[in-house]
Structures are given as C-alpha cells and as structure tokens.
Amino acid sequence: MQNYDNNSCSLEKAQQIIFHTLRQLPGEVVVLHEARQRIVVCGVNAVTPRPAFDESTRDGYVIPHPAGASTDGTVHRYAIVDEIPAGRPSLKILASGTACRIMTGGCVPKGAVRVVPFEECVEQNGSVVIANHALLALETFIKKTGSEIARGELLVPAGEVLQADHLALLASCGMHSVAVAARPVVGYVCTGSELTAPAEELGIGQKVSSNSFLLSGLLASVGARPVNMGLIKDSEQELLDLFARVGADQPDVLLTTGGMGPGKYDLVEKTFVAAGGRVLFNALAVRPGQSVLFGLLGRTLLFGLPGPPHAVRTLLHELVGPALLAIQGKKDPWPKMIAAHVLHRVQMKPHRVLRLKDAVLVLQDGRCSVRFAERLEVPNCLILLEAGRSTYREGELVQVHLPHELSYSYFWQCGQK
C-alpha cells in the first residue's frame, strides 16, 4: 500500500509543480469566425470607435441649427434636400434651412444638430414643418461617434476565453482577426491488456477502453488537438515504443490511463523513466487519484492517470484540464472553489487524505447547495471532504470545486471580483 504521508503530494503542491513546469504556447492569428472558445494571448483594444460615425437612432428628419430656418414663431420649416437610409452616407454638409430624411442607423451629415422623429413632423411640398418644442427636446436622437466605445478602449483582457459576445464586440470595433494561443497537441493512450476499441468484439476477460471517451471529451472541451495514440498492452516493449514515438513527435502533452498501481503489470512509471522521462511527482494525497504520475519527456508533459474511470474524471478535472488551459494562457485556470450547503448529513470513516466526492450543485431560493451524485448520474462538481473529518451536518457549508471547462468559464462568478 502507498504511504500518503511521506511521498505523496498535496493537491495544491501538485498544481504548483504543474504550473511551474508547463510552458505557455505561442500565439497565432485567427479570423474571428474561427476564434470562439480560443484564449486571447494579449489584451485586445478597439481599432475603431463605436459607433464609427454619428448615427441616427430614429427614422425622422435630420436638421441643422434652427437659426437659418423659415419660421412663423411656432413652427420651423426646412427644405428637404436628400434621404439618408442606413448604409449610404450623405456626403453633403447640411446647409442652414435644409433637412434630410434619415433612417435609423443612417449617417448624420456634417452641420446637423438633431434628428426629429417622423411622428413629430409634417412633410409638405418638399419641406418639413417642425414645432418649436420639438427643437428644444433634450434627446437629439444622434448617437455620437465613439459614444459607446472609444477608439483604443480595452475590449478583452489577456487570458480570456472568447465567447460569441466577444467576437461580435471585436467585429463591431474594426477587428477581423485576433491573436489567440495555439491549440495544444495532446496524445492520449489507454493502457491495459484487457482493453479493446469500442467497435471490436469482446473476448472473455476483455473490456472496452471507455476511458478514451473521458479523455477525448475533456480535450474537445478545452480546445486541444487530440491525437489518439491507440491502446497499449501491459508490455514493457509497447510502452517503450510509445515513449519513443512521443520523444520523436514531441506533442505538448501525453495522457495515459492505467498501469499506475504497484502491481506486476503496472509498468508506466518504470518504462517512462527508462525512456528518459523525468518524474516530477508520482503520488497525490487525494482520493480518488492517489496513483498519478506527472513528468517531462523532452518538452512533453506526461500525465499518467490510473485506470478507474472515477479517478480519471477527478484528475482530468483537478489537474489535466486546468494544465491545458494554463498552457493556453487562461487566467485562473484551476478549479474554482466555492462553499455550498450540503443537502444531506455526511457520515463516513475518517480518512487520512483529502477526498473528492462526485457531486451535483443545486441552486434554489437564493441558496447554493450540493449533494452527492447518484449512481449513474453525471456529476457537475466535486465536494472536498477534509482529511480526518468523519461527519458533516445537513446544511453545513462544505468546500466545492466547480468544473473548469472552457464553456463554463463565463458561467460563474465566485466571490467578489
């Protein structure tokens, strides 16, 4: 049995080691239509102001200062000289005593001071007649250049995950493309002589490599480029061949599952070291997930995960996903911690290490609660049960780690900004 107290790493320590080992990927420029869910490498500022021109916010008549208009003391009369629909500029300067019809979104000509909505005007014989009071209204129905966003304003800070809303914002401020982190190339492999690919027929004693779905799902959700390196038997030679391929191809990250226990056929660490890999930690003071290997082979980060799916899921959530986000420069890549009320009393054997329990967050009536996930239920968070504790009262606040997929990154604000 492993001794947690001597050699195993705390979760925080493991995260620190990973963070200090990984290197952030370089940026690449992509067109906006391909930038959703990518992470910006440096702050993005507005190239053009918004709006880019003085813009009418109503269908109406755009007029100059009333001084030059003919008037009988109660109404003013302007000669209509043009019509300005959205998208077609009037290049004219609006001369004294003249007006243009203008549509919402239309470009306000030089010399104009306000737009008077159609419903407040009467058009007669090529002129528009406007009552005095309409010329005194506070609202001019002109949105001035840059009044929404100034040229040069910071639109998206570095390390942000680009959402559709950001892309619309960037496009509206003159950008066609954006610099984002390159997508990490991640090789993954499931080890175990009992494993077969899903489409093959199962022999007695064989199993489908279901972990490959957890790995490929995570990789898709963090924007990695997955490279399925297949299934590997519990064979020193096959593992050495794998590490030789990895040494040659140098993916950013390699993920393995299985072969991490103390058993005769648990060969991942041994062959990794034999292939020249450097072990940075090989045990975690966390259940599930205590058998995990983190190391470097050339420039490739290795995460050697155990075989049981719930341990794989926990480690993907706590270590691998965040590392892949950090490689892309995401700010705050680690799981977000919140406190939530546990919905049921927890009674268990006290444990010597931190335990992470698959759980479901429940929002109701202004309260944020959490409960253990049921059998076959997909969890959406993890409850942290402290080492040494054996009971939690119903309703007590417990610590919870929220998942950190890219899609969720805009979803939470935890604590004060």
3-state secondary structure 211-238: HHHHHHHHHHHCCCEEEEEEEECCCHHH
Q: Which of 3, 6, 125, 416 binds a copy of itself (CB under 8 A)?
A: 416
User: Smallest gap, in angstroms, from Cβ of residue 280 to a copy of itself?
Assistant: 26
Binding of residue 319 to a copy of itself (CB under 8 A) = no
What x-and-dash track marks residues 375-414 binding a copy of itself by CB under 8 A? -x-xxx----------------x-----x-x-xx-xxxxx
The count of chain residues that interact with a copy of itself, using the rule CB under 8 A, is: 99
Q: Which of 176, 331, 345, 393 binds a copy of itself (CB under 8 A)?
A: 176
User: Smallest gap, in angstroms, from Cβ of residue 106 to a copy of itself?
Assistant: 7
Residue range at the interface with a copy of itself (CB under 8 A); choices 22-30, 187-195, 242-250, 322-330: 187-195
Q: Which two tokens stand for residue 249?
A: 């191809």
Nearer to a copy of itself among residue 71 and residue 104 (C-beta): 104
Q: What whole-number distance in Å separates Cα of residue 327 and Cα of residue 332?
A: 12
Binding of residue 226 to a copy of itself (CB under 8 A) = no
Binding of residue 86 to a copy of itself (CB under 8 A) = yes
Q: What angle do CA 280, 286, 287 make, to 5 degrees?
A: 130
Contacts of residue 275, defined as CB under 8 A and 6 or more positions apart, other chains included, come to 239, 240, 243, 244, 247, 297
Binding of residue 348 to a copy of itself (CB under 8 A) = no
C-beta separation of 62 from 108 below 8 A? yes
Residue range at the interface with a copy of itself (CB under 8 A); choices 66-74, 137-145, 189-197, 238-246: 189-197
Binding of residue 238 to a copy of itself (CB under 8 A) = no
Per CB under 8 A, contacts with a copy of itself among 119-138 are: 119
C-beta separation of 105 from 142 below 8 A? no
Residue the block writes with tokens 């409850």: 383
Binding of residue 147 to a copy of itself (CB under 8 A) = no
Integer-rounded Cα Rg, in Å, for the chain is: 31
Residue the block writes with tokens 């239309």: 106
Backbone angles phi, psi at 58, to 5 degrees: -145, 160
What x-and-dash track marks residues 22-51 binding a copy of itself by CB under 8 A? ---------xxx--x-----------x--x
Per CB under 8 A, contacts with a copy of itself among 270-299 are: none
Residue the block writes with tokens 């910071």: 154
